[in-house]
Amino acid sequence: IKIEQVRSLQKELAYRPLEAPQKVCLIDGADKLNLAGGNALLKTLEEPNGNALFILLSAHSER
């Protein structure tokens, strides 16, 4: 997962959800984040805007 993909997600999260109380962000392959993408995602996870639920999936539990 590259930083461009994380930045695209961050832009989408800047808007409130239309119908549901929260947006659900399912990140499949979280173990494949590169360093820059991981750092960008970490900032989003540490400082959420309150309208998003994050679910991170990994094929490797040790990563």
Averaged pLDDT for residues 47-61: 88
Regarding pTM above 0.85, the answer is no
Q: For residue 63, is pLDDT > 70?
A: no
How many whole angstroms separate alpha carbon 20 and alpha carbon 61?
Answer: 30
Q: Within a 10 A sphere around the Cβ of 33, how many other Cβ atoms? A: 22
Between CA 33 and CA 45, with CA 39 as vertex, the angle to 5 degrees is 95
The domains of the chain are located at 3-57
* Band of pLDDT at residue 62, cut at 50, 70 and 90: confident
Determine the angle formed by the axes of helices 3-13 and 35-46, rounding to 10 degrees.
20
Give 2-24 pLDDT, tens digit per residue: 889 999 999 999 888 989 999 99
- Which residue type, as a one-letter code, is found at position 16? R
Which CATH code is given to the segment(s) 3-57? Answer: 3.40.50.300
pLDDT at 50: 82
How many whole angstroms separate alpha carbon 19 and alpha carbon 28?
Answer: 24
